[in-house]
Structure 1
Amino acid sequence: MKVNSILGIRSNFPFQEFEAKLVSPGKMLTLRYLLCVTFLALVCIQYSEAWLWSWSRGAHTITGDVRGVPGVTRSWSARVRWTWRFSRRGDLLQSCSQLAKAVVTREQWGAVAARHELAINGIAEELFVWHTGPSTCNAAGLSATECQSCLREQSCTEQVVKALQDADLKGGKDDIKYNFLIGQDGVIYEGRGWDVIGQHTVGRNSKSIGIALIGDFSTTEPSQASQDAMNSLIVCGKESDKLTKEAQMTTGPQMAGKAFYNLLVRCNGLCVEN
């Protein structure tokens, strides 16, 4: 006579043989697979917007010559390394939407119409980083002392951006040469934007974006706010398919200013506050 120890019922029914047939090794394996698939499906439903590429500072790699850039024979290229981050994708998209609304548009800073515009064909594949350089203050008609204090105020920085456009037009450009400019207070200014070819790097403009930090960083480093703003701009550019995920950040000591360039080397990319 068989005894079912769990139910405590006396019976002649061969429970152990029945259980062995009901839950055979093959069926148990299938059951485990089904449970795993169900769990993964629930996770995907719960976090359908969770898997996203997040910015991480990439290792520098030496690239070839940047032709057409005076004084630059070699450039450092920060290859962006992307890592998975378990966070709601909607959070990043919302942040990018807020960033886009915060960008000072051409109309807001008083840009004049471009003489000629040519759209970028497809998605930009390169990213060139510059500083506006020693001529920044001269273009705005400011002394070095006045310029340094000016760059901390948005109203004055807008005047500087306008002066830079005027200087580029007088120099034979079709418009301000950069796609975006960033002030030391972290405010981003629309130059030519994401979709229009710039005139920042000779021979490399057609499939690239040029970003310039406003100021001369030959001997002083840019502010943390400007670096964080550039990081956010790059992340959102990639997330919105304005930049390819593989786009490299390329610069040199004369392009970004020696102090800024050394900072990029020291930080192995942008010194972003997490």
Structure 2
Amino acid sequence: MADGVLHARVQQNYLRDVPQMLTLRYLLCVTLLALVCIQYSEAWPWSWSRGGHTITGDVRGIPGVTRSWIARIRWGWRFARRGDTQQSCSQLAKAVVTREQWGAVAARQELAINGRAEELFVWHTGPNTCNAAGLSAVECQSCLREQSCTEKVVKALQDADFKGGKDDIKYNFLIGQDGVIYEGRGWDVIGQHTIGKNSKSIGVALIGDFSKIEPSQASQDALNSLIVCGKESDKLATGAQMTTGAQMAGKAFYNLLVRCNGLCVEN
């Protein structure tokens, strides 16, 4: 008799708990569905956003890559207005120094990138940066802190690339040590920066020689913003990799990337 009563009570408790369990599962499903809609629907004013750039040194045929390594810049998930990122990217685009502003000569030939770029190569302009602009090493270091002088350096780099047989300045973008971004070939034109890798990639060069010294924080932040906005504007594929090596970016910059496990970005 007692067993029968106990069994009846257990059954009653189970029956009472089933609707509660179903309600909780229903609420969980609705919540997950709402988050998916927030993430992928342009109609929602808010969105979950997650950042991440992969850096890899495992690229065959690129000089200076001595070992394979993969690092990732990580952000946590954050709840933010979709328009906030779009607004910051719009501001970044307006701040970019255009070809006309730095006095670029028209390209000999332009070939359009077909679709979104799948990779972004990072370089430094290297030890010949100062020589190309006719500056001594001492003059160059102080010069690269001033936008007016950096524009002259960018123009000199274009002239050097023309003399070297290129159709234009070889990079898609260049970044000064003050964090100012200069338009090279831009997002939509194939560059001539990385042999065998140009057709589906973007080449970005930090202006200066970073074999022995590290690039400024401002230039790293600008590079990070450029990558984020490239993905936001669909110029870069969502999973686009950022690729570099010790010779490409300079040993000091490369070591900095290894030490920071990616760009040392100030959030």
TM-score normalized by the length of structure 1: 0.81
Q: Secondary structure at the match of 1:63?
A: coil
Instruction: Indicate the larger mover: 119-128 or 49-58.
Output: 49-58
- What residue number does 1:92 align with? 85
- 1:51 is the counterpart of 2:47: yes
What is the CA–CA distance in structure 1 between the aligned matches of 2:32 and 2:126, rounded to whole Å?
56
Given that residues 57 and 270 in structure 1 are in contact (C-alpha distance below 8 angstroms), is that contact kept between their aligned partners in structure 2?
Answer: no
- 1:124 is the counterpart of 2:117: yes
Instruction: Indicate the larger mover: 28-37 or 233-242.
Output: 28-37
Cα deviation for residue 246 of structure 1 reads: 1.1
Tell me the alpha carbon deviations over residues 208-260 of structure 1, each in whole angstroms, 9 at most, x when there is no partner. 11000000000000000000000000000011111111111111111000000
- What residue number does 2:11 align with? none
Indicate how the Cα distance of structure 1 residues 263 and 39 shifts in structure 2: closer, same or farther if over 3 A, else same. closer
Residue identity over aligned pairs, in percent, reads: 77
TM-score normalized by the length of structure 2: 0.83
Tell me the alpha carbon deviations over residues 115-155 of structure 1, each in whole angstroms, 9 at most, x when there is no partner. 00000111100111000000000000001111001000000
Given that residues 73 and 261 in structure 2 are in contact (C-alpha distance below 8 angstroms), is that contact kept between their aligned partners in structure 1?
Answer: no
Structure with the largest fraction of helix: 2
Q: Runs of 5+ in structure 2 lacking a partner? A: 1-15
Indicate how the Cα distance of structure 1 residues 90 and 255 shifts in structure 2: closer, same or farther if over 3 A, else same. same
User: Map of 1:62-77 to 2, 5 A cutoff?
Assistant: 63-65=58-60, 67=61, 69-74=62-67, 76-77=69-70
Indicate how the Cα distance of structure 1 residues 128 and 31 shifts in structure 2: closer, same or farther if over 3 A, else same. closer
Q: Secondary structure at the match of 1:120?
A: coil
> Aligned pairs, how many?
249
Superposed CA RMSD: 2.8
Cα deviation for residue 50 of structure 1 reads: 2.5
Given that residues 77 and 248 in structure 1 are in contact (C-alpha distance below 8 angstroms), is that contact kept between their aligned partners in structure 2?
Answer: no
Which of 180, 187, 208 in structure 2 is aligned with 1:194?
A: 187
Which of 134, 139, 153 in structure 2 is aligned with 1:160?
A: 153
- 1:251 is the counterpart of 2:267: no
- 1:268 is the counterpart of 2:264: no
What is the CA–CA distance in structure 2 between the aligned matches of 1:35 and 1:252, rounded to whole Å?
49
Larger CA Rg, structure 1 vs 2: 1
What is the CA–CA distance in structure 2 between the aligned matches of 1:52 and 1:32, rounded to whole Å?
23
